[in-house]
Amino acid sequence: MKKIKEIIFVNESGSEEGIEEAEKYIKKAVKTAVGFFKFPSGYQVSVTLVDEDHIRELNREYRNVDSSTDVLSFPLEETDPRGARILGDIVLCRDVAVRQAEEFCHSLERELSYLTVHSFLHLMGYDHMDDEEKLKMRSMEKRIMRKMGVFKNMDRTEASREDRELIRLATEMLDMAYCPYSRFHVGAALLTSSGKIYTGCNVENASYPAGICAERTAAAKAVSEGERHFVKIAIACSGEGYAYPCGVCRQFLNEFADDDFEVILVKRSGEWERASFSKLLPHGFRGKDMGIEID
């Protein structure tokens, strides 16, 4: 049986201007998001573009809230007669999307794409009711947006809540370091594509080569829990400067690093900076580069 891949797009925004482009962005966002989930018999999702009055009416009816929002999601757990999973309905407000695109100084394409991805994750059960859930959902949004090629990179001097949490956890791990020989404490906090964070510290040994760096401690914990995709890592140290990962750690992380994997380096003073992993390891290699198939 042919796998069903159906995206139903409806324009109820009251305007036809730019609708063909908007439909293209929205469908691309859904298809990219679907790629992160497995639907053996296919899927069906409905996306409706509305104006501000319409979404306000929906908010009153379904949420008892008398205000407009940028999106609404209505998840479904049903299967159509062809066996495809009916994911639910997404409602996007074009008026709010236009305003937000102007406010955040990016394109309407980027805003509609983001809102679609955000809504789709709601259909899949993701939420942002507390900081932990928000961090996990935000990580998924970034991965999908990067795949689409419309992710707006954060300024190198700006720290998101996600970054601040990684920096905090990496710094806390300095107290856990076992380093009686070097007296140099290192802590790491690794964010994976699932949204989970794994921490680690350096653990030294009287047989020096048997020691392990903080980065690999965190990475090994993540892999042992089934993680296979790393998004970013924060590395804190007790020294005056930044503790860049050693060559072994760079190659170890590269095995599971996403293409735009980020490294945040933190000094004892609390100062921090970003480092491009591609520059730290310009010619790293993975099994797939050698023709090895890895699950």
Per-position DSSP letters for 100-146, written without gaps between them: HHHHTTS-HHHHHHHHHHHHHHHHTT---SSHHHHHHHHHHHHHHHH
Looking up residue 109, the CATH number of its domain turns out to be 3.40.390.30
Same domain, 277 and 227: yes
Q: CA-CA distance, 162 to 121, in Å (whole number)?
A: 18
End position of a domain, from candidates 105, 123, 148 = 148
Predicted local distance difference test score (pLDDT) of residue 115:
94
Q: Is residue 284 assigned to a domain? A: yes
137 and 210 together in one domain:
no
Instruction: Establish if 154 belongs to a structural domain.
Output: no
Cα–Cα distance for residue pair 197/218, rounded to 1 Å: 9
- Contact in structure between 30 and 7 (CB atoms under 8 Å): yes
Q: What are phi and psi of 75, to 5 degrees?
A: -65, 150
pLDDT digits over 143-181, tens only?
888 788 765 444 444 567 788 899 999 999 999 999 999
Distance (Å, whole) CA 215 – CA 234: 9
Q: Could you tell me if 142 and 170 lie in one domain? A: no
Residue 216 lies in a domain: yes
The verdict on 116 and 38 lying in the same domain is yes
Indicate whether 295 belongs to any domain. no
Question: Which one of 141, 165, 215, 227 is the catalytic residue?
Answer: 215
The sign one gets for the Cα dihedral 123, 30, 89, 44 is negative
- DSSP class of residue 164 equals H
| Domain end among 98, 114, 148 | 148
Same domain, 121 and 176: no
d(CA 258, CA 233): 11
* CATH code for the domain in which residue 239 is found: 3.40.140.10
Residues 17 and 136 in one domain: yes
pTM listed for this prediction: 0.55
The domain of 48 spans: 4-148
Whether residue 153 lies inside any domain: the answer is no
Q: Is residue 251 part of a domain?
A: yes
pLDDT of residue 105: 58
Q: How does pLDDT run across 59-88, given as a tens digit for each residue? A: 999 999 999 999 999 999 788 888 888 999
| Annotated catalytic residue 215 | yes
DSSP label at 78?
Answer: E
- Domain co-membership, 118 together with 20: yes
- Identify the CA nearest to 88 among candidates 53, 126, 60: 126
CB atoms within 10 A of CB 4: 16
148, 178, 195: which is the final residue of a domain? 148
Question: pLDDT digits over 202-211, tens only?
Answer: 999 999 999 9
Residue 155 in any domain: the answer is: no
Domain tally for the chain? 2
Kindly give the parts of the chain with pLDDT less than 70: 1-2, 104-106, 150-159, 287-295
* Backbone torsions φ then ψ of 247, nearest 5 degrees: -60, -40
